[in-house]
Amino acid sequence: MSLDPRKSSQPQLTARKVTKTFGSLTALDAVDLDVMRGEVLCIIGPSGSGKSTLLRCLNQIERFDCGAIWIDEEMIGYRQDGDTLYELDDRAIARQRLACGMVFQRFNLFNHMTALQNVMEGPATVLKRPRQEVRQEAIALLQRVGLSDKHEAYPAQLSGGQQQRVAIARALAMKPKLMLFDEPTSALDPELVGEVLTVMRDLAASGMTMIVVTHELGFAREVADRVIFMDCGRIVETGAPDQVLGEPLEQRTRDFIAAVLS
Amino acid sequence: MSTASGSRIGTPAKPDPSSFTIKPRRHYGRWLATALILLALSGIVRAFALGQIEWAVVAQFLTAPAILFGLVNTIIMAIAAMALGITLGVLFAVMVMSPNPVLHYSAKGYIWFFRGTPLILQLLLWFNLALVFPTLGVPGLFAFRTVDVITPFMATLLGLGINQGAYTAEVVRAGILSVDQGQTEAAQSIGMARPVIMRRIVLPQAMRVIIPPVGNEFISMVKLTSLASVIQFSEILRNAQTIYFANGRVIELLIVAAVWYIAVVSVLSIGQHFLERRFSRGQANRGRGR
């Protein structure tokens, strides 16, 4: 894979020893991760392997028990003073979340708002930017995801694929530094997967840093710069898509890929 | 489709369906039920027409100043008590759902106490507060005589509103729980802080679940204000009673009050219908069977 000049070797996101337990279950076991600026990283693995939990920790929707995460050198969740970490308040955490856009498996569009209102909500309510300007941007974003004719549609009137594209536009409206995708096509009917992947492919081509949890191995092979295989809360294998998906070193990776492709 | 005996190849000859005449079936049961109900209704109307009721007195007192004054008081009290009830209801619903155990248990305790005692008893307690606390205020700063502060209006407002809050808290909590957790997560992911998520995302969607029961409770509240007649609040029932103690036209004045209650409740029902439509925006199912 040729290296895109926009993709630098400077990490945009760094995670060290991130650990999360739910009762007796260890969802994340001391995960280390570096994601470069402009990199597209796909995370694959069986369900329960901790890949969604990792994504949710990166955006602080889930609290991690120990370890640390930095986005652009800023530690998330805490304010560091020497060796002491002060837990941040809700408002500061909300501000830090602006760095990441997130797309959910079940879309989670605001059901009481139209497609356009969904996209405008963040910039207008959170960033308090002028409505007219926000509106123009939202219209442009909906056009970018191919939904110019659906401004006034409520989520219930849209197909799954259309809802997910609105959700991507809603996340992009906040101008995030990186985008997190949590199994964005898993809840879709097979014939609707393609339209969402197309939007994600365009986004990757535009140089956005992306972390994508997915079962779409074809998409991972085509678009990812790097693929990570996770199992039991650990990163088992990491490398170029052709290597991890084509000639995996670990038996567990081989088994998983065989199971997905069968 | 061919019949069992018919051949699969040729289409058996059948007459053109448009040549048939169709006789609808007779719904004898429906006719019988209708007749019985009409008979019962006419009996009731006849009984009231012939009964010892002077309809002229009803008409005369329907717009009597004391009755209209009582009506206004009833409406003001219902709105004020409901406003207090909804405010407390939202507050205590959020408290019950708080991770802070002190907030959680104090809200639980409030709901437990006010749902556990009869409303009329609560009204009497508020009204007689002066027996317990002769003065109200902050010691050393200011103090009022309780009898001056706890007028019949205040006692009724506090009694009805605080009691209502305990019920509304449970309705609001159910409404908040009905909104998918994913909505909150999506709102967090675009950087919304907790209070904004509650106001912009969760409560507007919870409204769809909250409004029907709260509308119901508002209608209840209009009628519950009549309990305040026992603590001398001049609502419509008390004023009707005052009049019939003087002129002896008991049934006529009770009918006058009933007419006004039904009128107010009817207006509220229409309002509720429009409110429900407003808050079911974006819902494929607007609550009617199809």
Please give the pLDDT value at position A2.
Answer: 45
| DSSP H helices in chain A | 51-58, 90-97, 115-121, 131-144, 160-172, 190-205, 217-223, 241, 251-261
Strand partners, A102: A180
Please give the pLDDT value at position B133.
Answer: 85
What percent of chain B clears pLDDT 70, i.e. is strictly above it? 93
pLDDT tens for residues A160-206?
A: 999 999 999 999 999 999 999 999 999 999 999 999 999 999 999 99
Q: How far is B104 from chain A (nearest CA, A)?
A: 20
Which one of B178, B181, B189, B198 makes the best mutation probe of the A interface by having the most chain A beta carbons within 10 Å?
B189
Identify whether the C-beta of residue A118 lies closer than 8 Å to the C-beta of residue A125: no
pLDDT tens for residues B98-142?
A: 889 999 999 999 999 999 999 999 999 999 988 888 888 888 778
Find tokens 């084509």 and name the residue: A246
Asked if B193 lies within 8 A of A154 by C-beta distance, the reply is: no
| Separation of alpha carbons B86 and B172, rounded Å | 9
Instruction: Tell me whether A186 touches chain B (CB under 8 Å).
Output: no
Which one of A61, A97, A112, A134 makes the best mutation probe of the B interface by having the most chain B beta carbons within 10 Å?
A112
B262 pLDDT above the threshold of 60? yes
B1 pLDDT above the threshold of 50? no
Please give the pLDDT value at position A220.
Answer: 94
Neighbours of A203 (CB within 10 A): 21
Q: Which of B186, B200, B282 lies closest to A108 in CB terms? A: B186
pLDDT tens for residues A75-88?
A: 999 998 888 999 99
Kindly list the distances between the CA atom of residue B288 and the CA atoms of B175, B276, B277, B284, in Å, as whole numbers in the listed order: 19, 12, 11, 11
Considering only residues A87 and B146, tell me which one the structure prediction assigns the higher pLDDT.
A87
Asked if B283 lies within 8 A of A155 by C-beta distance, the reply is: no
The two beta strands, B142-145 and B135-138, are: antiparallel
Counting one residue from A and one from B, how many pairs have CB atoms under 8 Å apart?
82
Identify whether the C-beta of residue A216 lies closer than 8 Å to the C-beta of residue A240: no
Please give the pLDDT value at position B141.
Answer: 79
DSSP B157-224: HHHHHHHHHHHHHHHHHHHHHTS-HHHHHHHHHTT--HHHIIIIIIHHHHHHHHHHHHHHHHHHHHHH
Please give the pLDDT value at position A32.
Answer: 95
DSSP A157-191: GS-HHHHHHHHHHHHHTT--SEEEEESTTTTS-HH
Task: Find chain B residues with C-beta within 8 A of A127's C-beta.
Answer: 191
Instruction: Tell me whether B187 touches chain A (CB under 8 Å).
Output: yes
Find tokens 């693995």 and name the residue: A45
**Structure tokens belonging to residue A261:** 């492709």
B2 pLDDT above the threshold of 80? no
A1 pLDDT above the threshold of 50? no
Closest CA to A164 of A118, A231, A112: A118
Considering only residues B64 and B149, tell me which one the structure prediction assigns the higher pLDDT.
B64
Task: Find chain B residues with C-beta within 8 A of A53's C-beta.
Answer: none
Please give the pLDDT value at position B9.
Answer: 61
Q: Which of B186, B191, B205 lies closest to A104 in CB terms? A: B186
Phi, psi of A208 (to 5 degrees): -70, 140
